[in-house]
Structure 1
Amino acid sequence: MFKLRDYQQETIDNIYQSMRYGNHRIVVQQPPRTGKTVIMAEIARRATRRGNRIMFLIHRKEVLAQAIATFKAQGVDMDLATMGMVQTLTRRIDNLSTPQVILVDESHHSLAKSYLRILKTFPEAYVLYFTATPVRTGHKQMDLISDDLIPGKSIKWLTEHGFLAPFKYYGLGDIDRSKLRKANGDYTNSSMDEALSHQIYGHIVQQYQRLAKGKQAVVYCHSIESAKEVAAKFKQANISAVELDGETPAKKRDEIVEKFRKQKITILVNVNLFTEGIDLPNVDCVIMARPTSSLALYLQFSMRCLNPRKGKTAIIIDHVDNFLTFGLPNSDRDWNKAIQTRDKRKKKPNTGGPAICQCKYCFGIFYRADMQNNSCPLCGHKLESERKDYKVVNVDLQEIKANEAIKHRKAMVNKILSDQVVANVADKSPGQLNTVAELKAYAELHHYKKGWWYYVAKKKGLIR
């Protein structure tokens, strides 16, 4: 039986309080990696202990298997539980026992007809909609099917209290976002093919080695072809990598995932598999090689590596500038406003948000408020004299036009990739440079005046 964390118990208390106020259909927001399945299992245990029937709905087989195991471990009376994929249960609607409580996982999908058919069949049941992101990519939002929303703790709070790992976020920008086109709520594969730089596959490996070398990583790609190309590039660099996608046989997929959990595989490259619910505890790095217009997908991608461990700092590498659309994973979000259905004719208000900076030296992304002494909090480089060269954006910005800062950044990426010595010094400060070659590379990378490297080398005693 799982021992509830304080914030999980607080969420359960808030759910029962909402029920006492007369609410029957309640959205429960919990960030990824915070144990919402355990919360659902505890509610199911309490309900079945009183002789009430429960129903659990999900749309993915892998998540269902994990949920059943969690419910059993929590002591749920499984004779009073109906747990299944919505695709299956909607076909058996006439044979289902009437539940008193319905638990809907990943409920941002619940406006689909298959979900609504089940929910409308049992109008007297309490319905608890669990999701990390109670906002949908379409026009209709969850206020159409709910009475109340219970937000979970913020990602910042969870990180400060040790329930999520801290992270460093880097943006490489191997994409022309002006070429992206939407269909069915997200970018089309053809537009992603057109938008992504042909150099991205080599960049992915090079930047992994620079920023997260040796860490277990999950790479998110937009197509099977791109995923196979990325896996091949890692293998060429003698880094163990495996590609998985929807066409991978289930048995082989399970075997590969188990090897990854046992740390026998370093890089797991996937296409739309490791988003919702799948437990991968050893991930210390996430690499986004596909753009998305879905906040749900973005948070599932970026937070995959935030399982905490003593001394751990996760690394998020964003090759497609998803942060321009969504900000950082720990941005504050108004979920009550997010679930409100808006009139299509009304423009979404520009709410601004905390300014985000990008360091032109290490490509790190951070809140401007986190700067100390006008220095990058990730690499320590002084930015005071280069204010015009680092980029500041708002978290709700949808597209960014090419400017000198971006051109400069891309030029630096190319230089890093062409010179390994430069790569070794790119994320260091002058005080961390220990050889004449490193000083020369550092001076070249940052366009320092001739003689700088000689002066510093002499001061360090590297030359006489």
Structure 2
Amino acid sequence: MARRTTLRKNRVLFLVHRKEILDQTITTFKKQNVDLNLTTFGMVQTLTRHIQDIPVPKLIIVDEGHRALAKSYQRILKQFPKAIVLLFTATPHRTGRMQLDQIADDIIVGQSIHELTDKGFLAPFRYFQPPNDFDPKLLKRGSTGDFTNESMEQAMSTKIFGHIVKQYKRIASGMQAVVYTYSIDSAIKIANEFNSEGISAVEVDGTTSKEKRDLAVRKFREQKIKILVNVNLFTEGVDLPNVDCVIMARPTASLALYLQFSMRCLNPRKGKTAIIIDHANNFKTFGYPDDDRDWKQAIKSGKQKSKSLLTDPGLAIVTCDYCFAVVKASEVKDGKCPICGKPIKVHKAKPVSDVDLVEATKDRQNLIHEIVHSNLLKEVANKNVSELHTIKELQAYGKLHGYKKGWCYYVAKRKGII
């Protein structure tokens, strides 16, 4: 679009918010034969102070367009009311009530993550999460809508740093990994823990000089460093092609940030399966990175709850000792199983140092959802095999207890049902 615009001798304005993205964009535009003499590239923070110097564009392209409601972006966009404005983003949802319908006429939804993975544009992944490594009640939101550093410090266990190294060695040993954490102090501790275990790691944050940051990224790309620990740097746009593992060592209230964290490792390579390690149980708030989301609804402003709109809510699960049903802890009322009505215990999580992360699977999610909403499953849960009289009842009972399909056939034949 930029090339076609400049071919017609019209001007293009390309807005970004980070220098690393700006450098990549200029390089890409050169390769794609965009006329750079008719293109203005700039960081929003700079251009907003020099609006009068920007040549009038016919087309404005905004990278990470979910940021475009900010005053600095609006100051630039309102300066050129006749320009066509295109907002590009992988995460068209903001924290808070005001959404992109305030500035966009419509949304064109691209291919889903599932489709891109099937076609080889993204790598498949495995997702690991702990039962419960922090107390979410301690989390407090700040002015940005995300959690404050102070509350994250309280909520995350002090043992989390050693635990991160232990789980990396168990799940993703040898992989190039990026760690996302919430403060410089925590990032330094994590990097030190990795280095003390003989795993090369470097910490970078907003206070790190450009020279040191560039050196760290270059060494990581050259695989001279295994672990890159960062604070709010490698989220949007920066090209790190050899990341095979992402470690989330901080919670977030932002769907956009969560997707940027978790998808950082999905650059494809033949035979690659990425690893996502979630120490903060972000999965319980946002579901899987590749869950289908209603993005057309997501851009609408109002009192909508992002959980109900965009996510498959997280699953704190318990197993009933009587009917063996696996149910959401939130469904347990008055200490009774929501399916069979017998007493059920919601066990407290073990201390973080004693807990290995478990792999989250869609089969488990789907079964829990089906149990809660299926009358048939609820009916058979409180019965024994002798009380089952139809194929459907046997199939439901087998599904509930995780039996193989052959079990249903064998029992049905024995009972004379088939």
| Length-normalised TM-score, structure 1 | 0.69
Q: Partner amino acid for 2:348?
A: K
Contact 1:241 1:268 in 2 (8 A): yes
In structure 2, the CA distance between the partners of 1:393 and 1:164, relative to structure 1 (3 Å rule), is farther
Amino acid at match of 2:24: Q
Structure 2 Cα separation of the partners of residues 329 and 393 of structure 1: 23
In the TM superposition, 1:190-339 aligns within 5 A as 190-339=150-299
Q: Offset at 1:292?
A: 0.5
* 1:168 counterpart (104, 120, 126): 126
Corresponding residue of 1:15: none
Shift of 1:159: 1.0
CA separation in 2, counterparts of 1:301 and 1:338? 19
Structure 1 contact 205–234 (Cα < 8 Å) conserved: yes
Deviation at 1:203, TM superposition (A): 0.6
Contact between 2:284 and 2:315, CA under 8 Å: does it hold in 1?
no
Go from structure 1 to structure 2 and tell me whether the alpha carbon gap of 1:204 and 1:46 turns closer, same or farther (over 3 Å shift). Answer: same
Deviation at 1:134, TM superposition (A): 1.0
1:116 alignment partner, SS class: helix
Partner of 2:391: none
1:352, distance to aligned residue in structure 2 (A): 8.8
Q: Is residue 2:23 matched to residue 1:65? A: yes
Match for 1:114 among 72, 85, 110? 72
Shift of 1:350: 3.8
1-side partners of 2:11 and 2:128: how far apart? 47
CA contact (8 A) 1:389 1:405 kept: no
Query: TM-score by structure 2 length?
Result: 0.77
Unaligned runs of 5+ in 1: 1-42, 361-382, 395-402, 418-422, 428-464
Pair 1:183-2:142 in alignment:
yes
Q: Could you tell me which residue of structure 1 aligns to residue 46 of structure 2?
A: 88
> Counterpart of 1:40?
none
C-alpha distance in structure 2 between counterparts of 1:349 and 1:243, whole Å: 33
Secondary structure of 2:216 counterpart: helix
Task: State the distance in 2 between where 1:384 and 1:301 align.
Answer: 37
Q: Which residue number corresponds to residue 348 of structure 2?
A: 407
8 Å Cα contact 1:391/1:405 also seen in 2:
no
Q: Structure 1 residue 236: deviation in Å?
A: 1.0
Identity of aligned residues (%): 58
Corresponding residue for 2:109?
A: 151
Structure 1 405/306 Cα, relative in aligned 2: closer, same or farther at 3 Å? farther
Per-residue CA shift, 1:238-276, capped at 9, x if unaligned? 100000011110011001100000000000000001000
- Judge conservation of contact 2:176–2:244 (CA < 8 Å) in 1: yes
Say if 2:62 and 2:88, in contact at 8 Å, map to a contact too. Answer: yes
* C-alpha RMSD of the superposition: 2.7
Q: Does 1:140 align with 2:98?
A: yes
State the one-letter code of the partner of 2:177: A
**Secondary structure at the residue paired with 2:13?**
strand
| Gap change, CA 1:242 and 1:312, over 3 Å in 2 | same
Q: How big is the shift at 1:347?
A: 6.5
The question of whether the paired residues in 2 share the 8 Å contact of 1:142 and 1:340 is answered with yes
- Tell me the matched-pair count: 345
1:406 and 1:235, CA in 2 relative to 1: closer, same or farther beyond 3 A?
farther
1:89 Cα deviation from its structure 2 partner: 1.1
C-alpha distance in 2, partners of 1:242/1:349?
35
Over 4 Å off, 4+ runs: 346-349, 351-360, 383-394, 403-406
Q: 2:16 touches 2:63 (CA, 8 Å); kept in 1?
A: yes
Distance 1:146 1:190 in 2: 35
SS in 1 for 2:61: strand
* 8 Å CA contact retained: 1:356, 1:392: no
Q: Unaligned regions of 5+ residues in structure 2, if any?
A: 332-343, 360-418
Aligned-pair CA distance for 1:61: 1.1
Equivalent of residue 102 in structure 1, options 41, 57, 60: 60
CA–CA separation in structure 1 for the residues paired with 2:87 and 2:98: 16
What pairs with 1:379-394 in structure 2 (closer than 5 Å)?
A: 387=324
Distance in 2, matches of 1:229 and 1:103, equals 39
* 2:88 equivalent to 1:130: yes
* 1:45 and 2:3 are equivalent in the alignment: yes
After superposition, what is the alpha-carbon deviation per residue over 1:401-429, rounded to whole angstroms, capped at 9, x for unaligned?
xx966635x36x64467xxxxx9xx99xx
Q: CA deviation at 1:390?
A: 7.6
**Code of the aligned partner of 1:76:** V
Label 1:135 to 1:351 Cα distance change in 2 as closer, same or farther (>3 A): closer
Deviations 1:215-256 (A, max 9, x none): 000000100000000001101111000000111100110011
Distance 1:86 1:350, change over 3 A: closer
Q: Distance in 1 between matches of 2:31 and 2:282?
A: 38
Cα distance 1:355–1:269, how it changes in 2: closer, same or farther (>3 A)?
closer
Instruction: Show CA shifts across 1:164-197 (max 9, x none).
Output: 1111111123211110000121000110011011
1:19 aligns with: none
The residue type equivalent to 2:137 in the other structure is: S
C-alpha distance in structure 2 between counterparts of 1:308 and 1:406, whole Å: 39
1:116-171: per-residue Cα shift (whole Å, max 9, x none)?
11111111110000111111112211101111110111111111121111111111
Contact 1:58 1:104 (8 Å CA) reproduced: yes
Matched, 1:55 2:13: yes
